[in-house]
Structure 1
Amino acid sequence: MIRINLLPHREARRKELKNQFYALMALSVLVGFGIVIVVGVYFSTQLSAQVERNAFITEKNKELDGKIKEVATLRQEIDALKARQQAVEDLQSDRNQPVFMMNELVRLAPEGLYLLSIKQEGQRVLIKGYAQSHAVVGIFVNDLSSSKWMTRPEIIQNKAVNLGQGRDAKRVIEFDVSVGMRRPRELEAAAASASELPAEKKPADSKSTEKK
């Protein structure tokens, strides 16, 4: 006996497929939403961690800036203390400068030279006097240049004048000379640099002997 199914099985199949499709769509939406949530949580965690790292670095940078400022302040204080110490040492050493200066002037003054006044202003000394001729003034300035205590002599004024009246009048040279005074530490530095020169010249000397 032949049985005929009169139910609309095709429509039922279509409805079943639609239901399956909608179920898959809903499942995919839920899975996608879950993935979005997981990714969002992951990136949010990473972002908050990076923010914490940035805050930590910023805090450490501020601490380093503070330490750098402290170091700069300490350096300024050290430089100020060194300057004060140098000033005290210069004051102590400058007390003996007039003695050295007078000894040098007595030793270097040539014949025919008369010193009228000596005035010290800082590290410069102004010398006024009379000389028999311009040549005597030139000799005096050259001798000052060769002195270890004197430096950079300059002739400010050098002119002929008459001293006295009538038959007693004499033609002399009136001069003003400015010269610098060296401090002991400057002499020590010059001596140290001079002691290093022979060591630097030794290779050149050895080469010259080899050529000979």
Structure 2
Amino acid sequence: MIKINLLPHREEKRKQLKSDFYGLLLLSAIVGALVVVMVSAYFSRELTTQNDKNAFIKKENAKLDERIKEIATLRQEIAGLKARQQAVEDLQGDRNQPVYLLDELVKLTPEGVYLRTLKQEGQRVVLNGYAQSQDRVAEFIRNLGAKSDWMYKPDLDDIHSAALQTGKDSKKVFEFQVNVSIKRPREKEEVASQTGETTVNKPGAP
């Protein structure tokens, strides 16, 4: 027997296809929403983790800044203590400078030169005196610059002829003023150590 389907099968097929299409569309929307939620949750977790790391780094940086400030303060205090210690050592060493200075002046002042006054201003000494000639003054300055262990950089500030009264007579001489720098004991020791020399204390030195 031959069966003939008189129902509108094409229309039914179209409805089925449309229903399947909407089902797939809904499933895709659900899957897309789940993906968006999962990705958002992942990035949110990563952002939270990164924020926690940033907060930790900021906290540690603040601690380091405080330690750096403490170290800088300690360095300043150490520098101040060293400066005060150096000042005390310089004062103790400077007590013997007049002895060394006078001892060297006796040795380095050539014949024909007479020192009238000696004045110390810090680490500079002003020498005033008389000389028989300008050559004697030049020799004196050379001695101060080349042969002295304690004096250096002599500078002739003034020289002029003058009349020196000796009893009833007057004698023509040259009056001069020389400025010269003097070393502290520690500076002399530093120079000696750099040149490989051995520092030997003079008689009366501590």
TM-score by length of 1: 0.87
Runs of 4+ in 1 over 4 A off after TM superposition: none
How large is the RMSD of aligned CA atoms in angstroms?
Answer: 1.7
Report the residue type matching 2:120 in the other structure: Q
How much identity, in percent, do the aligned residues show?
55
Aligned partners of 1:61 and 1:133: how far apart in 2?
74
Equivalent residue of 1:164, what SS?
strand
Q: Distance in 2 between matches of 1:6 and 1:33?
A: 44
Quick one: distance in 1 between partners of 2:48 and 2:56? 12
The separation in 2 between residues aligned to 1:180 and 1:123, in whole angstroms, is 6
Amino acid at match of 2:142: N
The equivalent of 1:176 in structure 2 is: 177
Q: Partners in 2 of 1:95 and 1:142 — Cα distance?
A: 27
Q: What is residue 42 of structure 1 aligned with on the other side?
A: 42
Residue identity in the other structure for 2:69:
K
Matched, 1:150 2:151: yes
Specify the SS of the correspondent of 2:30. helix
User: What is the identity, as a one-letter code, of the residue corresponding to 2:175?
Assistant: E
Counterpart in the other structure of 2:79:
79
Aligned counterpart, 2:135: 135
Matched to 1:73, the amino acid is T
1:89 is aligned to 89
SS of the residue corresponding to residue 33 of structure 2 reads helix
1:50-107 CA-to-partner distances (Å, cap 9, x unmatched) read 1111111122122112212221221121111111111110011001101111111122
User: 1:133-187 CA distances to partner (integer Å, 9 max, x unpaired)?
Assistant: 1111111111111100111111101111122399712100000011111111111
Task: Work out the CA distance in 1 between the residues paired with 2:51 and 2:151.
Answer: 68
1:159 aligns with 2:164: no
- Residues 114-123 or 98-107, more deviating: 98-107
Could you tell me how far apart the structure 1 residues matched to 2:42 and 2:168 are? 116
Ranges in structure 1 where 5+ consecutive residues have no aligned partner: 197-212
Equivalences, count: 196
Equivalents in 1 of 2:154, 2:81: separation in Å?
33
Counterpart AA for 2:153: R
Q: For residue 67 of structure 1, what is the aligned residue in structure 2?
A: 67
2:27 is matched with which residue?
Answer: 27
* Unaligned segments of structure 2, at least 5 residues: 198-206
Change (3 A) 1:166 1:68: closer
